[in-house]
Structure 1
């Protein structure tokens, strides 16, 4: 079921990328993007928030908070590496990061073949992610597969989830670069003022 879901969503993004190529020239590489993520797994369906921040040209950080509003709520902090496919507006990405949660768990007792279902388990694990991402105008749309490896708190070692995210660009990459340059200039100006101050006094700064 999840495989068919991934194929359909991936094909949709691929054709959308081709159709949007003429307009993607006007699309801006995002610096900060915020939106919604819908997840689907064999266990449940989740809805949550996703915040992505561009750190370097091909590296970003993503925070995901998602819940099924019943028995499972998780938080992930991911570092992602991007590579362009058709253009810089359509890329694939790979990433990983720690994950915390409050989840249900299933444990099978071999002797009786009974399955024990527990709730409210505090979990810790590792999330990995692989996906496709398309940027059109001020929107960032992505399809991903996000497996989770449990380290503590849950009986199942592995859980996989397919997700679709739609984000709006809050800060464009160009604006982010301009802000960084302004901070660097301000830092250099402050440093020059301090040096000039000590030169006027003709003494060195006290350590």
Structure 2
């Protein structure tokens, strides 16, 4: 699956016509499929652009059996070829309900437990391609366990497909409108006190 995901991702990039233009997204929602040595998961991914090169991503994924996790990641983006193709690095807290494997050297046994409430740190590194209203990404997401699980480290390869809900231009426009409204409101208050020729009571 890892090799197939890599092949499909880079094939999509190579096959893109040069005339296709991408829209910078403000908010994007979609599906993420993950694969590791332990299991395969499917879930939701929501990404929100915070600044020009910084975004926040929420990932809820499950194997619909013994493992369900939630991650909140802050990501830094940097373009590679153009604005539509970039790499990103990020990290953030992760919570879950997972299975755990404990090795017992004396008896050469592995004890499996499930239903463990876990807490840890997720890191992420990946490539992202934005075409029209679609955002496709391929990532590697390692997890460092802090509490609730025996294994200290787990790694996962994931591929995500999101649709753009709010474009970057629209997000900037709304932010400017809110800022303009706050200034107008502040100006109205100042004008009110000036007309009364008194200062506000403290």
Is the 1:51–1:63 contact (alpha carbons within 8 Å) kept by the matching residues of 2? yes
Residues 114 and 121 of structure 1: CA distance in aligned 2, closer, same or farther (over 3 Å): same
CA distance in structure 2 between the aligned counterparts of 1:181 and 1:118, rounded to whole angstroms: 52
Deviations 1:51-93 (A, max 9, x none): 0000000000000000000000000000000000000100000
Moved more, 7-16 or 122-131: 7-16
| Unmatched 5+ stretches in structure 1 | 1-5
Deviations 1:36-64 (A, max 9, x none): 00000000000000000000000000000
Q: Which residue matches 2:74?
A: 79
Q: Which residue matches 2:26?
A: 31
Q: Which residue matches 1:205?
A: 200
* Structure 1 residue 12 displacement after superposition: 4.0
* Structure 1 residue 15 displacement after superposition: 4.3
Residues 49 and 161 of structure 1: CA distance in aligned 2, closer, same or farther (over 3 Å): same
| Unmatched 5+ stretches in structure 2 | none
Q: Which residue matches 2:97?
A: 102
- TM-score normalized by the length of structure 2: 0.94
* Structure 1 residue 112 displacement after superposition: 1.5
Aligned residues: 202
* Structure 1 residue 108 displacement after superposition: 1.1
Moved more, 31-40 or 20-29: 20-29
Secondary structure of 1:25's match? coil
Residue 127 (1) aligns with residue 136 (2): no
Residue 192 (1) aligns with residue 177 (2): no
Is the 1:105–1:154 contact (alpha carbons within 8 Å) kept by the matching residues of 2? yes
Aligned-residue CA RMSD in angstroms?
A: 1.8
CA distance in structure 2 between the aligned counterparts of 1:85 and 1:188, rounded to whole angstroms: 38
* Structure 1 residue 113 displacement after superposition: 1.8
Residues 196 and 151 of structure 1: CA distance in aligned 2, closer, same or farther (over 3 Å): same
Is the 1:17–1:134 contact (alpha carbons within 8 Å) kept by the matching residues of 2? no
Residues 201 and 21 of structure 1: CA distance in aligned 2, closer, same or farther (over 3 Å): farther
Is the 2:134–2:163 contact (alpha carbons within 8 Å) kept by the matching residues of 1? yes
Residues 36 and 7 of structure 1: CA distance in aligned 2, closer, same or farther (over 3 Å): closer
